[in-house]
Structure 1
């Protein structure tokens, strides 16, 4: 399957659920044609409290141009709702996408999750706990036999240890050193979403593995810049070690000299092109579709 061009992409906004009188939307990016195409649910970042389905428009268009159907999700955030409401929305969105997959030329069983920063945390937690009763609490009419299991996960600079990152940010703030704007901003966002450290420890992929929880372990690709100060490298490496010990397959790709969010901040950089190609190759491979030619 040859890569698609941007002219071959269809983009539309679709309501996948309603909360009261307000719809929750996803933006669907899909290549024209019958498929088969991989299906990828994308979870935006923003420290759990900011952002929307439009944040990764450039990235999602690039992936759709490479023959992938991408669904960028809106979900509830503070002040509307805190943890675990967003996980319930994402879990429902995954089930809804599986119910619709065939209409877009996709195989529901090959659906994967992708997230960025706090979205990567939520994507990974959804993938690890697809049957958690809190996360699966929202019913899907006509989809009673569907669950939120993911065939794979792509994590872009994840907040993989929310408690560890919160304490890291507090220590930096208390040290008297100049605090990067991004570090100072995440502290109140942690508390708005989580409420306190107990929840940060409970909804924590690293600690879930170290506690020996029975979790799903789909194949994982992680991308991160080695100059990222917002997502501590040691926490990610600790997660990778725990994931491997539990029997999961995980690959880490480091991008030399790049800071957090480099794919969005430097759209024309060679590192961004390499990152997008790596994601596309992994998605095609793990979804079971034909990998596009380079």
Structure 2
């Protein structure tokens, strides 16, 4: 599965988008090392930064599979983008990936000078399962380190909806995520988690108050469309800010298609503008 996913995405990642620098490095964390890739739009210290978590159902995906997405966000936003090579399931079930992501966020904030990052202007985002992990990490940091995050960038994530109209309508493989695939990804991530009903995947019933502003991008032909709609409502009901954009005519995973599909380019441009608005201004 991983090999096929990487092979399919490799075509969509060409041609390579030039940036000032792209550097692979390793963060030494409490639970072990994790690889990161730092995309810089320009030289200079103390740039704002977005940590980006790749999608792939918690099971597939990598820094390479999402390279063009991260390059686009970096170039278009003017912020540093930091991709994280978090541990995948089922070998590393919940909460392994989330623990490592939380530790990486804290390490970036506390060691920002070493990476040329402004610790007062740090955001987190992702697509699909990466968006779920980004929101879950933001909830953890809100409680333990509320000073760390200023912005959320969330594309077509899995947030906790079990049954809905979009889940029932968009079951064909053409829509990018079949019910069987979704169940496989869920069970791989949860492993033998004892919580009833797999509550680790349900972020919508969490207390969402106190989170930073969020850009929520959704695909109109996606079984997870209703997850994004529900999250946007829940964030607003909790007193937060949620800028929801639903992109017509595209299925789950469409961000990868920026090489050919104008809607993917637009979605990345919208997200990058939101990142710039959320992070480029000086901290209050």
TM-score relative to the length of structure 2: 0.81
Which string of whole-angstrom CA distances, capped at 9 and with x for unpartnered residues, describes residues 183-202 of structure 1? 12221221121136726324
Q: Which residue of 2 aligns with 1:225?
A: 219
Provide the secondary structure at the position in 1 that maps to 2:55. coil
SS at 2:44 equivalent: coil
CA distance 1:249–1:120, shift in 2 (3 Å)? same
2:57 corresponds in structure 1 to 47
Paired with 1:189 and 1:273, the residues of 2 have a C-alpha distance of 27
Distance (whole Å) between structure 2 residues aligned to residue 223 and residue 172 of structure 1: 19
Preserved contact between residue 130 and residue 216 of structure 1 (Cα < 8 Å)? no
1:27 corresponds to 2:22:
no
Residue pair 1:14, 1:25 contacting (<8 A) in 2 also = yes
| 1:126 and 2:137 are equivalent in the alignment | yes
Q: 2:257 is matched with which residue?
A: 265
Cα deviation per residue 1:189-227 (whole Å; 9 max; x = unaligned)?
A: 21121136726324422111xxxx375311000111211
Q: Which of 113, 117, 121 is the aligned partner of 1:102?
A: 113
What displacement does 1:17 show?
Answer: 2.6
Structure-2 separation of matches of 1:26 and 1:179 = 32
Distance verdict in 2 for CA 1:254–1:27, change over 3 Å: same
Is 1:244 aligned with 2:223?
no
Compare CA radii of gyration and give the structure with the larger one: 1
Matched, 1:278 2:270: yes
User: Corresponding residue for 2:5?
Assistant: none
Deviation at 1:159, TM superposition (A): 0.8
Contact conserved, 2:142 with 2:210, CA < 8 A, in 1?
no
Instruction: Call closer, same or farther: CA 1:12–1:179 in 2, change over 3 Å.
Output: closer
Is 1:152 matched with 2:151? yes
* Counterpart position of 1:116: 127
Contact 1:225-1:255 at 8 Å conserved across structures: yes
Distance in 2, matches of 1:129 and 1:283, equals 21
Q: Which has the higher strand share?
A: 2
Secondary structure of residue in 2 paired with 1:48: coil
**Partner secondary structure for residue 217 of structure 2:** strand
* Other-structure match for 1:188: 184
**Residues 269 and 245 of structure 1: is their aligned pair in 2 closer, same or farther, counting only changes over 3 Å?**
same
Deviations 1:33-56 (A, max 9, x none): 115522010111111122122221
Query: Shift of residue 73 of structure 1?
Result: 0.5
Cα gap change, 1:105 to 1:152, in 2 (>3 Å): same
CA distance 1:28–1:254, shift in 2 (3 Å): same
Distance 1:273 1:36, change over 3 A: farther
- Kept after mapping to 2: 8 A contact 1:37/1:289: no
Residue 204 in 1 paired to residue 174 in 2? no
**8 Å contact 2:119–2:148 — kept in the other structure?**
no
| Distance in 1 separating the partners of 2:79 and 2:52 | 12
- What residue number does 1:140 align with? none
